[in-house]
Amino acid sequence: MPWATRGLRVVTTGYPHTPDDYGGSFRAAVSPLPGARWEPDMAQVCPTGAITEHDGVPRLDHGRCIVCGRCVRRFPRAFRSDAAVETAALLRDALVVPPLRETDEALARVRAALARRVRRLRRSVHIRHVDAGSDGTEEWEIAALLNPVYDVHRLGIFFTASPRHADILLVTGAGSAGMLRPLRITVEATAAPFVVVACGTDAISGGLLGRGYATRGGVSEELAVDVWIPGSPPSPFSILHGLLLALGRFPKGGPA
């Protein structure tokens, strides 16, 4: 029974120490093509307002993009779908492509400041996940980190039920009104220094809900976010990348 024996062989990914072909198959983002020019209907095709114009060139905000693919289908010569793993960023502006200005100096300052805060956390890290009004999709991907394929424990990263034991706050959701007070209580209960990771487009910008009477349009108004992981939802590999980026295990933005 080859199907039975094949099911017994669970192969844990070697990422980030070795590339993972499976990880690179996830459709992680949409990006403007080089040389693309602005067309009037581009802004209207995006349900979250992720597409804007600058000097006749379309720009796309990965922090707002839900990877629905409408722009790719409508304007195939201007946008493409990208399969990627390493999508997280230390700067919110770095999620907008193409960038308007160089951010190397700002990125270096942010990276250095974050490295000073996490230098004692590199090999034993505890995460407190906070759902601040999520639709549940990010939670499925976060839960997958604990299965044998990703096995986040092999990297010295663990989840904790108490913010008092946490080094990283992994926040999902659009910042719903009912979760703002619990979110503040969690932050107050977390011992400094700690790192805040906004996981998913909802946590970054509010996603489809955006900003309204029920949501804040993301969690950045309530928290000082250190790492931004775009995606709706981001894959487990992208979440791993964001966590390792926060811990300084991607010093040059590439694999450890």
* Residue 95 covered by a domain: no
* Residue 150 covered by a domain: yes
CA atoms within a 13 Å half-sphere pointing along the CA-CB vector of 221: 14
* Residue 118 covered by a domain: yes
pLDDT digits (tens, 9 = 90+) for 35-76: 999 998 999 999 999 999 999 999 999 999 999 999 999 999
* pTM over the 0.85 mark: yes
- pLDDT for residue 249: 80
- Radius of gyration from C-alpha coordinates of the chain: 19
- 127 DSSP 8-state letter: E
Confidence at 253, pLDDT banded by 50, 70, 90: very low
Question: What is the rounded (10 degree) CA torsion for 110, 113, 114, 119?
Answer: 150
- pLDDT for residue 17: 87
Residue 136: give its domain's CATH number.
Answer: 3.40.50.12280
**Whether the predicted pLDDT of 5 surpasses 60:** no
Least confident range from 22-26, 85-89, 170-174: namely 22-26
Residues whose CB is less than 8 angstroms from the CB of residue 8 and which lie 6 or more positions away in sequence, other chains included:
none
* Residue 235 covered by a domain: yes
**Whether the predicted pLDDT of 90 surpasses 80:** yes
**Whether the predicted pLDDT of 103 surpasses 80:** no
How far apart, in Å, are the Cα atoms of 243 and each of 9, 74, 78, 200?
27, 34, 32, 13
**Whether the predicted pLDDT of 83 surpasses 80:** yes
* Residue 205 covered by a domain: yes
The total domain count for the chain is: 1
Residues whose CB is less than 8 angstroms from the CB of residue 209 and which lie 6 or more positions away in sequence, other chains included:
174, 202, 215, 217
- Give the integer Cα–Cα distance in Å for 194 and 114: 10
**Whether the predicted pLDDT of 34 surpasses 80:** yes
The pair of three-digit structure tokens given for residue 241, joined into one six-digit string: 């990348």
Confidence at 251, pLDDT banded by 50, 70, 90: very low
- pLDDT for residue 53: 95
- Give the integer Cα–Cα distance in Å for 235 and 28: 7
**Whether the predicted pLDDT of 141 surpasses 50:** yes
Residue 182, domain extent: 104-246
Chain-wide mean pLDDT for the chain?
89
* Residue 56 covered by a domain: no
Confidence at 8, pLDDT banded by 50, 70, 90: low
For residues 239-253, give the mean pLDDT.
82
